[in-house]
Amino acid sequence: MDVNANAPGLAFAKEHGIPIFTNLEALMQNEMDIVLELTGHDEVLDNIRNIKDEKTHIIDSKAAKLALLLSEHQQTLNEKLKNYISHIETLMKHVGDNISEIYRTVEAINDISRKIINSVSDSLDSIKKTDQIIKLINDITARINILGVNASIESARAGEYGRGFSVVAQEIGKLTSSSKDATANITSIIETMKKHIENISEITGELDVICQQQTQVAVSLEEDNQKMKQIFIH
């Protein structure tokens, strides 16, 4: 209510569909539980007391201003709380996105680890087969060496007629010596490869442990994130 029909407060009330009055008599004709007296003038307060209904309670300007301040303060707190909640929800969304990214990364690492493990397993199988081949070569070399020794013996027995056997025995000796050197080198290379593959296998195992730890962290974060969501929902 305002005696000035052009008062800003009345204009605001009109815009928001709030009933307006320019005199106390018209205002007090409505049943009201509470009347806020905001002018601070004793004359206005007395007039309200004289014409109000017995059921109507008056809140003077000091109490009304205090209530207004409390209301404004509460509104400010509500706005801040709303902003905080919005900020936390944004952070929670980022956390959720990061958790999803962790899951994708861990899954990709696990996939690579599985491929490495399969490759290492295949390599070990190939090395085992190579070992078998080398053992076979060594066995053949030993047999050839025996033939060379026998050829040398026969050459010595035959004397002049055994020169051909002597040449054959020498060539067999060279062949077995070369075969031994070659198989020794191959064996050394294979042993080195075994060590490298074992190192890769150990690293892959450590990588798998790290992936499991990351997965556990992601699960824990997801659980905390869900708990936070439940708090804000309720």
Q: Is the pLDDT of residue 168 over 70?
A: no
Q: Return the CATH architecture of domain 92-233.
A: Orthogonal Bundle (1.10)
- The mean predicted confidence, pLDDT, of the chain is 73
**What percent of the chain has pLDDT above 70?**
63
Tell if the pTM clears 0.75, that is, is over it. no
Q: Convert the pLDDT of each residue in 148-159 to its tens digit.
A: 666 677 666 666
In angstroms, the CA 45 to CA 41 distance is 6
Which helix (H) or strand (E) segment holds residue 6: the answer is: none
Amino acid at 151: A
Q: State the pLDDT at residue 97.
A: 80
- Cβ-contact 193, 200 below 8 angstroms: no
In angstroms, the CA 17 to CA 218 distance is 53
The owner of tokens 């060379």 is: 148
Q: How is the chain split into domains, by residue range?
A: 8-75, 92-233
- Cβ-contact 39, 61 below 8 angstroms: yes
Q: State the pLDDT at residue 36.
A: 61
Backbone angles phi, psi at 40, to 5 degrees: 85, 5
In angstroms, the CA 112 to CA 109 distance is 5
Range with the lowest mean pLDDT among 50-59, 75-84, 159-168?
Answer: 159-168
